Amino acid sequence: MNPPIPTPYSADFRSMSNTSSDSWSLDDARELYGIHQWGLGYFDIDDNGNVVASPQMAEGASVEIRAVIEEARSRGLTPPLLIRFQDILRHRVESINGAFRKAIEEQGYRNTYRGVFPVKVNHLREVVEELKAAGQRFDFGLEVGSKPELFAVMALQDELNDLIICNGYKDSKFIHMALMGTKLGKKVIIVVEKIEELHQVVAISRQVGVDPSIGIRVRLQSKSQGIWAESGGEHAKFGLSLNDLLAATDYLEKEGLKHCLNLIHFHIGSQVPDIQAVKRAVQEGARFFAKISKMGFGLEIVDVGGGLGIDYDGSQTACESSTNYTLQEYANDVVYAIMSVCDQEEVKHPVIVSESGRALVAHHSVLIIEVFGTTSKLGYHPAVEADKDDHEFIREMLHIRENMARLNLSEAYHDAEKFRVDAQTLFTLGHLSLKDRAKIDQLYWEISSGVVERLGDEEFIPEDLAELKGNLGDQYLCNFSVFQSLLDHWALGQLFPVMPITRHLEKPERETTLVDITCDSDGHIDKFIDIRDVKNTLPLHNLRSKEGKKDRYHLGFFLMGAYQDIMGDLHNLFGKANEVHIFLDPDEPAGYYIEEIIEGSTISAVLDSVQYDEKDLRRQMKKQVERAIREDRLKPSEGMRLLQTFDTGLKEYTYLTF
């Protein structure tokens, strides 16, 4: 029998590459996963090869993520597990405010910066409260875009002059509640998204007897690039066109309410990758501010919206998953653009508000998932051997395999592909045996693997061969749902950094793609961050077992704190993940403690959300068990056990438990 051919994806290649683990260093691991690039100082690998979080960067303790997973397990919380580092939230608030303060001071800007957090980016009360507490000394405010958000924020913003910015489409009840906020002494600014809203605001404010504080969202010509570019430009969903803007100013003048127009707002989209787009938009928006100010309106604030991006892939480029600027550069450019326009137009420098969401919260949470199995294209089957009765396709493919070194790689692959397709047709028509088809399939993967091995790290790889590399990767089966925990990856192709939590002293031997546990072929990940490009596979370690028991192998998805929490859906009824919140505390032996545990959804909770009442389900099961006992299909004791298992099962986690 032939020995298996060692290829990058075969068992033998794996053990061969193990030997080169000797020359593997922690810096190789850091570079492979780019942790120093996207981690921004919040994440690193320690000397034992474990990933650690440093929520206050060099100032505070480092938290070994593996230890948090173990502690969560000891409290009954298994992965998928979301770990929130509350101190990162505080650090982000301080960083953003610090950057704007520095820019204002250095450039001699004659007004202040006040940030607001758009709560839609992460609604969790503990997150919003943490940001609010950290932002108190910076007069930090909150932004809402719906009635539920307004109701929550009205209660949370409980001090005089607390800033609330109301964006999004509004009805009379929304406007009424916002005006009640003004009556309570908060600084509530109602940003008008369409002209009819303005008429409503004025009418309702007269009914309740309060002067409204009004903002206008202008539709800029300037646009961003990337996944969220459609929020800007003339076809944007929100904001007033030029004609509507003039109609709005005329209307306010006629109504004697020029003093109520306090803010000009614009937003060109989330995750703006290119600083030039930021500069263009702020310049254009500031010009609106200056021109309208000169018309005698009571403008005080320029609100530059969100969009401050995150370098998810660490490349520091203007590609979708990155940004070609730093936080400080962003703050410098926003301040400079507003100041230069206002100086030129000779109007007072306004208060600068930004609505950065992603940049505040993305870093604070890490999703931990457990790998529970693998599937491999080549498996561990021995290489195909020639046989005298072989079908001619098999003989041809064996010839390709044996002569790979001399052949043109594309041609070899395309020929193998053709034989495989033709073999499928012959098999369907009944002209090829199952055994021959299996041999042809195996040969196809052997040839493909050889092609990929010979391609190595060549600069230019034809598209179909590059795709082949991804197709050859082993599938790592992961206990989570892409649709619940990584919705932006599924819907928009957004990339998040992902890496193993442990074992970085060992070289990862396998090229993998990740699949989730939903019954949906879209529930997989085969695009990964890379400094130069997007990778089709993720290098991971072999799963190990000790004394017949599999070692746990955890992956972390990083920078998960923005948008993913709330957008996840219940596909296959996989619910919310378990959650722990970490606080640093120098008095604790480990330097931190788990401050809060939020248990993920139970089976009965997700069933309830689709109208299955827990009591009804129990009653229906009981009826069936009683009948089965009467008809002698179950013993009474078996029936009682079954009911008990059903009952306890309803209270359990929706994900797999191992």
Contacts with ligand PLP, residue ranges (CB under 6 A): 118, 121, 167, 231, 267, 270-271, 305-308, 355-359, 562
- In the complex with ligand PLP, the residue whose CB is nearer, 307 or 500, is 307
Exposure pattern of 410-431 as b/e (b: 16+ CB <10 Å)? eebbebbeebbeebeebbeeee
- CB-nearest residue to ligand PLP: 306
Report the nearest approach of ligand PLP to the CB of residue 481 (Å).
23
Which single residue is written with the structure tokens 């000779």? 346
Residue (of 248, 262, 180) closest to 213 by Cα position: 262
Report the nearest approach of ligand PLP to the CB of residue 424 (Å).
46
Which single residue is written with the structure tokens 């609010």? 132
SS3 557: strand
Task: For residue 149, give every residue at least 6 positions away whose Cβ sits within 8 Å of its Cβ, in sequence order, or none.
Answer: 119, 120, 123
- In the complex with ligand PLP, the residue whose CB is nearer, 307 or 523, is 307
Report the nearest approach of ligand PLP to the CB of residue 580 (Å).
24
Report the nearest approach of ligand PLP to the CB of residue 215 (Å).
11
Residues 97, 59: contact at Cβ < 8 Å?
no
Report the nearest approach of ligand PLP to the CB of residue 111 (Å).
21
**CA triplet 624, 630, 631: central angle to 5 degrees?**
90
- In the complex with ligand PLP, the residue whose CB is nearer, 81 or 144, is 144
Torsion of CA 629, 635, 641, 643, to 10 degrees: -10
- In the complex with ligand PLP, the residue whose CB is nearer, 237 or 254, is 237
Q: Which two tokens stand for residue 93?
A: 């608030």
- In the complex with ligand PLP, the residue whose CB is nearer, 226 or 600, is 226
- In the complex with ligand PLP, the residue whose CB is nearer, 359 or 378, is 359
- In the complex with ligand PLP, the residue whose CB is nearer, 141 or 307, is 307
Report the nearest approach of ligand PLP to the CB of residue 192 (Å).
13
- In the complex with ligand PLP, the residue whose CB is nearer, 306 or 639, is 306
- In the complex with ligand PLP, the residue whose CB is nearer, 213 or 356, is 356
Report the nearest approach of ligand PLP to the CB of residue 349 (Å).
22
Residues 128, 137: contact at Cβ < 8 Å?
no
Task: Report the C-alpha gap between 96 and 99 in whole angstroms.
Answer: 5
Residue (of 5, 1, 11, 3) closest to 443 by Cα position: 5
Tell whether the torsion through CA atoms of 387, 390, 395 and 398 is positive or negative.
Answer: negative
Which single residue is written with the structure tokens 């509530």? 188
- Largest interatomic CA distance in the chain: 98
Report the nearest approach of ligand PLP to the CB of residue 562 (Å).
6
Task: Report the C-alpha gap between 196 and 194 in whole angstroms.
Answer: 6
Report the nearest approach of ligand PLP to the CB of residue 34 (Å).
22
Task: Report the C-alpha gap between 38 and 322 in whole angstroms.
Answer: 9
- In the complex with ligand PLP, the residue whose CB is nearer, 244 or 488, is 488
Report the nearest approach of ligand PLP to the CB of residue 293 (Å).
22
Residues 369, 312: contact at Cβ < 8 Å?
no
DSSP of 296-363: T----EEE--S-B---SSS--SSSTT--SS-HHHHHHHHHHHHHHHHHHHT-PPPEEEE---HHHHGG
